[in-house]
């Protein structure tokens, strides 16, 4: 198992979140062409809408009250109790429906919404402990409150990049912030879900392998695959099959398919070695993300 975030770690991720909110809202207000294509079928304005709705759903999970997003998408009300969806693979359809359900496309208005919701959420965190349990997106899953901060940091970093990239702007992804996302969001979500949910079963069938993932300058975790299941643990005496040294932003970007792994390997951002170094090339293909 992996330890929950400490109060100090949680405070660091909240500070990172404030910084990323400031950056993305400043960026949004500077863009004059919101209809530029961005990600998949979404343009910049639609990505911004989705981000603003993430800032509605996740704080709603934190306060155990999803009435605000249910007012936007009434058909989702009561679908999964305190959570948002019944199954992880309903996520794409639910986010698409939510974006279509709110016609607002002014980037300035959406920036205001994100700022207001961020200020409210961070204010509500005061007086709470990072390890207090909260429902997560999927029915029947529970994460520590700190993981919801990690979730919001993940959304804000990722979609800030999407908006900047579509607009042709330079955009720095902070290594410390992506390392926080891995530790405080990726890991607790993997731990709360069925161990097979985030695994590409076709690629992982029959595989028994332990990866030592080292986020340069920040963190180290073991990812353990066992015939289609995945667990994450702190490093231990367990024998490692493949070590991977990863630049944190590259690890984050490859996971979310914003960067090709071969590009990251060519740049030295991902380096593998160990008893079975060839497993390094397979790591990303073992993972299934929504």
Share the mean pLDDT of the chain. Answer: 94
Query: Can you tell me the mean pLDDT for 194-223?
Result: 96
Alpha helices in the chain (DSSP H): 7-30, 44-62, 67-72, 91-101, 107-125, 145-167, 175-181, 187-192, 201-204, 248-255, 261-266, 283-286
Architecture of domain 7-192: Up-down Bundle (1.20)
pTM equals 0.96
pLDDT tens for residues 65-90? 999 999 998 877 666 678 888 888 88
Q: Return the pLDDT at 80.
A: 65
pLDDT at 234 over 90: yes
Q: Return the pLDDT at 1.
A: 66
> What CATH number is given for 201-286 in this structure?
3.30.1050.10
CA gap 183, 147 in Å, rounded: 9
CA gap 160, 4 in Å, rounded: 27
Q: Which segments of the chain belong to CATH 3.30.1050.10? A: 201-286
**Distances 281 to 227, 244, 252 between C-alpha atoms, Å:** 18, 10, 16
Q: Which segments of the chain belong to CATH 1.20.120.450? A: 7-192
Distant-in-sequence contacts of 69-73, Cβ < 8 A, 24+ apart: 69/98, 72/98, 72/101, 72/102, 73/97, 73/98, 73/101
CA gap 156, 18 in Å, rounded: 10
44 contacts 35 by C-beta, under 8 angstroms: yes
CA gap 267, 217 in Å, rounded: 17
pLDDT tens for residues 40-71? 999 999 999 999 999 999 999 999 999 999 99
Can you tell me which residue has the tokens 């299941």?
A: 229
Which strand (E) or helix (H) includes residue 209?
strand 208-215
């Amino acid at each position: 198992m992996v330890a929950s975030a400490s109060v100090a770690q949680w405070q660091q991720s909240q500070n990172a979140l404030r910084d990323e909110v400031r950056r993305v809202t400043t960026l949004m207000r500077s863009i004059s062409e919101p209809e530029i294509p961005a990600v998949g079928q979404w343009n910049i304005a639609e990505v911004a809408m989705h981000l603003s709705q993430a800032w509605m759903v996740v704080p709603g999970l934190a306060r155990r009250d999803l009435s605000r997003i249910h007012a936007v998408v009434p058909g989702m009300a009561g679908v999964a109790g305190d959570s948002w969806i019944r199954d992880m693979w309903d996520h794409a359809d639910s986010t698409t429906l939510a974006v279509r359900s709110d016609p607002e496309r002014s980037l300035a208005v959406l920036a205001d919404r994100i700022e207001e919701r961020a200020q409210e959420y961070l204010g509500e965190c005061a007086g709470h402990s990072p390890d207090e349990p909260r429902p997560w997106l999927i029915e029947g899953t529970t994460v520590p409150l700190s993981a919801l901060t990690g979730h919001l940091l993940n959304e804000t970093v990722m979609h800030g990049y999407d908006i900047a990239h579509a607009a042709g702007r330079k955009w720095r992804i902070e290594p410390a912030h992506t390392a926080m996302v891995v530790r405080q969001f990726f890991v607790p979500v993997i731990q709360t879900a069925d161990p097979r949910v985030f695994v590409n079963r076709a690629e992982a069938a029959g595989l028994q392998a332990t990866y030592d993932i080292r986020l340069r300058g920040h963190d180290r975790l073991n990812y353990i695959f066992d015939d289609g299941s995945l667990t994450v643990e702190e490093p231990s005496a367990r024998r490692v099959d493949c070590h991977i040294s990863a630049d944190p932003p590259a690890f984050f970007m490859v996971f979310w398919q914003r960067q090709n792994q071969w590009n990251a390997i060519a740049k030295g951002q991902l380096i593998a070695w160990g008893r079975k170094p060839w497993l390094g090339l397979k790591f990303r293909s073992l993972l299934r993300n929504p």
